[in-house]
Amino acid sequence: MCGIFLELSCEKCSIVNDIDVLRRLKNRGPDHLQRKDFISEIGQHIVFVASVLWMQGPQMTLQPLENECGILLYNGDIFDESWDSRTSDTQIIMEKLSYDCDSQIDKVINVLKSLKGPFSLIYYCKVTNKLYFTRDRFGRNSLLIHKNSNSLVLSSVLGTQYENYEVPVSHISVLDLNTHKILLYTWKATDIVQQCNLGDWLKTLQLKQSLSDLDFTVEANIPWDIDGLDDTVSFIESVAKKTKCNVTIMKTLSQHPEIQTTINKIMYLLNKSIHKRLKRQPNLCRNCLKITEINCSHSAVGVLFSGGLDCTILALLADKYVPKNQSIDLLNVAFNKENPTYDVPDRITGRKSLEELRRLCPLRKWTFKEINVPKEELEEFQISVIADLIYPRQTILDESLGSALWFAARGQDHHSVSNCRVLFSGTGADELFGGYTRHRAVFKRLGWAGLCKELQLDWERIPYRNLARDNRVICDHGRQPRMPYLDEEFAEFVIHLKPWLKCFPSKHLGHGLGDKLMLRLVAYNIGLMEVSTFPKRALQFGSRVANKNEKVNGGLVFLRAAFVLLEVGGLHIFTE
């Protein structure tokens, strides 16, 4: 994962010299840091800065990448099987953007639309004096925008000292540096192009960023006969009513033709997604990378590991593709904020899942890292580091989840710090397969039609919720987060499944079974018998970074030296 930064000014650029910003950028890309100053034909000073975490290609591609056509800042991973895996994705993107040095906007836009994988990108076209910037359509990577009276800044991370907004994923933005007009291109094949002034656009971003989940709406597109349902629904209901034994339910459901076909397809696509994300990396831990050791037997890959369903499936499937001589780190975080010990729910679950992984993969060395965080250390880093990383997100939920992820990704237990460079995350599984408590509540009130709409809504708003925040937090440790459930091909298949082929939150299939039913059946079919029925538990509660009994009115605004709680009344922040 790289850190990218651009500052544009008609005078002297200043934010580029902020030591805190540069340190955060360097944390994201510890392998190389480089700056490029450029003066446009009309006298604008543009500073490009990039830090690199080498992941793709036989050798590191240094950034900013420049040729006669333009300058590229790129942060991401392209998982396109039609691309030569022996070549850096950064170089391929630059070649495509510079083909014939064509200055037509549509051609550049079409290149950006063709990219598959998580990324954020800034491209300056010298020929037209236009600045292109965007994040991938799922919003998996961070890109922030800040404007003051002197300069405009785009950066992977900034901090609380600069008012900033997350660049929206709904459009590819093209800023004309001659007129300061901005063109917004949608990701759809046929564009409806919007044009506005930069200042007006930034005001719109400010309003949209303050929206709560309740402000998001979606027109439900239901291609199935929800009222008529089908025989699969009747079959699942009859099996659930006949037996209370979870193992028997799993076994019987797996024998139904449509369910078995769905399980097989999900397993195929998830294996494919994981394989793509493991073969495009050097297979070296941090230490071996420094000494160019080609036979690394340490952990180059880790998993953010609560021991729950989503992450344990990823760990088990990753075993197929990680070199057999390498260990795999399982990063399990616990806090003793109000607990006398670190035996929190996620620690207990993690140990149980570890035993199941050892049973199924006895030849693999699984390194279970028990990351214990005392209250004093938590509070210290929340103020000095985490507040800057999660900003512009500011709620107590952002603080709790950001803290849990930051300490987990740091990978430091009482023995050592993890040297893995790739870190798998189960992000997206709950949204795709109906894993939240609210899905059960909606189904109880509104039936299949209501659940179908809620699942669509979850998917539509996922880019606006937490992915950029999580990216800033995890990447602060120089690790590359990879999220197999958010693979384009995998997600496209699951999104279009009938809702009862994702989850079945009826009263007959309780917590730990009906929620994410299809993913539980996948776990059962690959041998994770115990894990397949573990109940869903939110990270902030399972790790005990937050207390489930805490009820807070309002949001948390972070300052560098203190937290100020603003009472705005009536909002229960800790929702799933």
Q: What confidence score (pLDDT) does residue 220 get?
A: 58
* pLDDT tens per residue across span 164-179: 999 999 999 999 999 9
Structural domains in the chain? 2-210 (3.60.20.10), 231-559 (3.40.50.620)
Any bridge partners for residue 165, and if so which? 145
Q: What confidence score (pLDDT) does residue 147 get?
A: 95
Report, as an integer, the average pLDDT of 187-214.
80
Q: Specify which of 105-114, 202-211, 425-434 reaches the highest per-range mean pLDDT.
A: 425-434
Amino acid at 56: Q
Token code pair at residue 524:
């059962």
CA–CA distance, 189 with 191 (Å, rounded to integer): 6
Q: What confidence score (pLDDT) does residue 254 get?
A: 97
Does residue 447 have a pLDDT over 80?
yes
Is residue 362 packed enough to be buried (19+ CB in 10 Å), middle (13-18) or exposed (0-12)? exposed
Q: What confidence score (pLDDT) does residue 88 get?
A: 92
pTM for the structure as a whole:
0.92
Residue 420 annotated in active site? no
Token code pair at residue 305:
């590991």
Does residue 190 have a pLDDT over 80?
no
Q: What confidence score (pLDDT) does residue 26 get?
A: 97
The answer to whether 284 and 301 have CB atoms below 8 angstroms apart is no
* pLDDT tens per residue across span 359-373: 999 999 999 999 999
Position 216 confidence tier, pLDDT thresholds 50, 70, 90: low
Strand order, beta sheet including 328-335: 366-373, 328-335, 301-304, 422-424, 480-482
Token code pair at residue 494:
């699951």
Token code pair at residue 485:
């459930």
Active-site residue identified among 2, 69, 420, 452: 2
Residues 6+ apart with CB under 8 A from 499: 434, 448, 451, 452, 455
Q: Strand ranges (DSSP E) for 115-273?
A: 119-125, 130-135, 144-147, 151-155, 165-166, 171-176, 181-186, 194-197
Position 304 confidence tier, pLDDT thresholds 50, 70, 90: very high
CA–CA distance, 380 with 377 (Å, rounded to integer): 5
Does residue 565 have a pLDDT over 70?
no
- Lowest-confidence range among 24-28, 119-123, 445-449, 517-521? 445-449
Position 256 confidence tier, pLDDT thresholds 50, 70, 90: very high
Report, as an integer, the average pLDDT of 569-574.
29
Token code pair at residue 546:
């937050």
* pLDDT tens per residue across span 337-352: 877 899 999 999 999 9
* pLDDT tens per residue across span 77-106: 999 888 988 889 999 999 999 987 766 888
Amino acid at 282: P
The answer to whether 265 and 532 have CB atoms below 8 angstroms apart is no
CA–CA distance, 292 with 202 (Å, rounded to integer): 45
Does residue 319 have a pLDDT over 80?
yes
Report, as an integer, the average pLDDT of 227-255.
90
Token code pair at residue 427:
């992000």
Q: What confidence score (pLDDT) does residue 566 get?
A: 29
* pLDDT tens per residue across span 477-536: 999 999 999 999 999 999 999 999 999 999 999 999 999 999 999 999 999 999 999 998
Mean pLDDT over all residues of the chain? 90
Position 223 confidence tier, pLDDT thresholds 50, 70, 90: low
Report, as an integer, the average pLDDT of 313-317.
98
Q: Give CA angle at 383 (377, 386), nearest 5°.
A: 85
Q: What confidence score (pLDDT) does residue 118 get?
A: 96
Q: What confidence score (pLDDT) does residue 215 get?
A: 63
Position 558 confidence tier, pLDDT thresholds 50, 70, 90: very low
Q: Give CA angle at 264 (259, 270), nearest 5°.
A: 125
- Lowest-confidence range among 86-100, 314-328, 359-373, 421-435? 86-100
Count Cα atoms within 13 angstroms, Cβ side, for 60.
18
Q: What confidence score (pLDDT) does residue 40 get?
A: 93
Is residue 281 packed enough to be buried (19+ CB in 10 Å), middle (13-18) or exposed (0-12)? middle
